[in-house]
Amino acid sequence: MSGMTPRDANFLNAEHRPYPPPQSPYLMRQTWSQLLFAHWRVKADDLKKHLPAGVVLDLFDNDAWVGIVPFQMSDVSLRGVPALPWLSKFLELNVRTYVTCEDRPGVLFFSLDAANPIAVEVARVSYCLPYFHARMRLHAADGIVEYRSQRRDKRGADATLHVRYEPSGPILQASKGSLEHWLTERYCLYTAGRDKLLRGEIHHHQWPLQQASAEFLENTMLSGLDLTVLDENPLLHYAEILPTIEWPIGPI
């Protein structure tokens, strides 16, 4: 199922979603691959001070979570437009938490680092997202992914990630009500516009998750947030590939 693309007739199947995808035409497509979900349980009050007006911090069993998500983007293109090799494939690294607005659970990004300076500038302007240009490298061999990122953008604080990770179990789809499902099955993002809260809708099949192991050789991605991490060891999941589609971002 994870191999299906937006061109497949049943790609918009919504049985796994908490609410249907928009009926309007989507704006663009992306494919995410060799992705690591690394999640830490953190003190909720530390996160709340970073939230824009209009969203509420989402909790699982009264716990707040923050995630670091390195992956590779490919097939990044507007609807109906062929992907351009020099523009449509690059590395990205997100730092995120989980919020709700109008009972619609979503993701809030604290930072998004990308190795493509054009994509960074377009996303900052069109999506009002905190994108930063970074020097990034991915090397995969024998099932192990080595991922390096060093932020080069002076609009953000210094931030570095060097991690090796690999899947360590079979592909499983998280069951509803589980922590894994709560962390990953989210179909919109929130961001603060110039004078209002914005929401962008996303669609994809349910995540093909695998248990993962990881060795963090350097990680300063959370240092600027001043968070109290409650568990030293993160919750780790891997996903090999997932096609997605995105709609234009707009005010709520």
pLDDT tens, residue order, the chain (252 aa): 455 577 776 788 889 999 999 999 999 999 999 999 999 999 999 999 999 999 999 999 999 999 999 999 999 999 989 888 778 999 999 999 999 999 999 999 999 999 999 999 999 999 999 999 999 999 999 999 999 999 999 999 999 999 999 999 999 999 999 999 999 999 999 999 888 999 999 999 999 999 999 999 999 999 999 999 999 899 999 999 999 999 999 999
Alpha-carbon gap, residue 113 to 153, rounded angstroms: 9
- Global pTM? 0.95
Ordered domains of the chain (ranges, CATH): 28-247 (2.40.400.10)
Q: Where are the alpha helices (DSSP H) in 8-126?
A: 44-48, 85-88, 117-126
Alpha-carbon gap, residue 78 to 217, rounded angstroms: 36
